[in-house]
Amino acid sequence: MLDATVHRQLLREASLRVTAPRLAVLRAVDEHPHADTATIIAAVREQLAGVSHQAVYNVLAALTEARLLRRIQPPGSTARFESRVGDNHHHVVCRSCGAIADVDCAVGKAPCLIASDDHGFAVDEAEVIYWGLCPGCAAVQRTP
Amino acid sequence: MLDATVHRQLLREASLRVTAPRLAVLRAVDEHPHADTATIIAAVREQLAGVSHQAVYNVLAALTEARLLRRIQPPGSTARFESRVGDNHHHVVCRSCGAIADVDCAVGKAPCLIASDDHGFAVDEAEVIYWGLCPGCAAVQRTP
DNA sequence: AGGACTTACTTGATCCATTCAAGAGAAGTG
DNA sequence: CACTTCTCTTGAATGGATCAAGTAAGTCCT
């Protein structure tokens, strides 16, 4: 609610029409960082019943294209989205339950790492995924 | 062919039965680094016609579990596999055509990076994906 | 405000990588 | 060589994501 005007402004600045589904998606992703598509659809429908899943997919694609959202997809998981963009931060992912947390990038702007040999590729970003166990899953493994 | 005895030995050491489909998959992945599942299935069938796709999926899962193969899955792509394991190297991926190349890790053993704040996660690996354009796609973009 | 134009959403079907399930077949063991 | 267990084949099902066509809504301009 508080951010609705901010969200409108973000959409305008990206030359995107302001629609109820888009505002609902922006709010849902704000409130559920790193959520998968199914979770986002459910959260959107709590605000706005009857939104089609196709609309949510369209909106997520459009907002990702416009760099208002960032799409992350750890191997073995479905697509997830976050609204924190522009600071080139990274993620730590739990191998057991799939939980995701943000990790600040020490450099802050991409690419934060330089490849030892880039094979002639024009590299513009270095994405880092830290793999491990979240505190909860680590505790379960120690005392099974 | 040359490596068949090596492959047999690798399977034995992993307590896996030596079967024709498994040898064919190991060879196919050796010869097609970073190939997706469809490519691997085709390559396997060139050596051994009539292998079911299910068998290839089973073998890939078993060999990945046994750490004889490594599964990589850049967002937006289907699963890919490589036989280079154990040296914690990274990858550079072309945003345009999906081409993948290896990038040696300066450290060599995981985790090669330390998170600024790991949120209590027990991190055992830092996976790095360098994003950019391969030489071919970069050339096309400059002269469209 | 109202109309025209453009973009977005709904509905319903479809795709395709991957997985599930059950029975036939082959690898390893003594 | 026969037994046990794991692996492969066959065929179907799952589910995230996408495609297509028609309707609805946002934006611009007068």
Instruction: Name the residue of chain B whose CA is nearest to A129's CA.
Output: B127
Instruction: Name the residue of chain B whose CA is nearest to A108's CA.
Output: B116
Distance D2 C1' – B18 CA (angstroms) = 21
pLDDT of B144: 60
Contacting residues for B105 by C-beta, under 8 A, at least 6 apart: A116, B87, B88, B89, B90, B112, B128
Domains and CATH numbers, chain A: 4-79 (1.10.10.10), 86-142 (3.30.1490.190)
> Per the CB < 8 Å rule, is B115 touching A90?
yes
When CB atoms are compared, the residue of A116, A122, A130 closest to B103 is: A116
Residue A1 predicted with pLDDT over 60: no
- DSSP, collapsed to helix, strand or coil, labels residue A94 as strand
Tens digit of each residue's pLDDT (9 = 90 or more) over B17-61: 999 999 999 999 999 999 999 999 999 999 999 999 999 999 999
Contacting residues for B106 by C-beta, under 8 A, at least 6 apart: A116, B112
DSSP symbol at A17: -
Tens digit of each residue's pLDDT (9 = 90 or more) over A33-46: 999 999 999 999 99
Q: How confident is the model at residue A8 (pLDDT cuts 50, 70, 90)?
A: very high
Distance D18 C1' – B106 CA (angstroms) = 40
Q: Say how far residue B113 (Cα) sits from the centre of its chain.
A: 21
Ordered alpha helix ranges (H), chain B: 4-13, 20-31, 37-47, 53-65, 135-142
A→B contacts (Cβ < 8 Å), by residue, are: 71-73, 75-76, 79, 90, 92, 94, 101, 103-106, 111, 113, 115-135, 138
Residue A102: Cβ within 10 Å count: 16
Share of chain A above pLDDT 70, in %: 97
pLDDT of B86: 86
> Per the CB < 8 Å rule, is B115 touching A133?
no
Task: Give chain C positions with protein CB within 7 A.
Answer: 7-13, 17-21, 26-28
Closest of A60, A96, A58, A64 to residue A77, by C-alpha: A96
Q: Evaluate whether B25 touches B16 at the Cβ level (below 8 Å).
A: no
Q: How far apart are the first and last CA of chain A?
A: 44
> Per the CB < 8 Å rule, is A92 touching B119?
yes
pLDDT of A79: 95
Closest of A38, A26, A15 to residue A69, by C-alpha: A26
> Per the CB < 8 Å rule, is A94 touching B121?
yes
Residue A2 predicted with pLDDT over 80: no
Contacting residues for B3 by C-beta, under 8 A, at least 6 apart: B26, B27, B30
On the 0-12 / 13-18 / 19+ scale of CB atoms within 10 A, B2 is exposed
> Per the CB < 8 Å rule, is A92 touching B129?
no
Closest of A88, A19, A31, A13 to residue A58, by C-alpha: A19
On the 0-12 / 13-18 / 19+ scale of CB atoms within 10 A, B33 is middle
Tens digit of each residue's pLDDT (9 = 90 or more) over B99-138: 999 999 877 677 788 888 999 999 999 999 999 999 999 9
Q: With a threshold of 0.85, does the pTM exceed it?
A: yes
pLDDT of B1: 55
Instruction: Name the residue of chain A whose CA is nearest to B126's CA.
Output: A130
Distance D24 C1' – A18 CA (angstroms) = 15
pLDDT of B2: 59
pLDDT of B116: 86
Contacting residues for A10 by C-beta, under 8 A, at least 6 apart: A26, A68
Tens digit of each residue's pLDDT (9 = 90 or more) over A16-73: 999 999 999 999 999 999 999 999 999 999 999 999 999 999 999 999 999 999 999 9
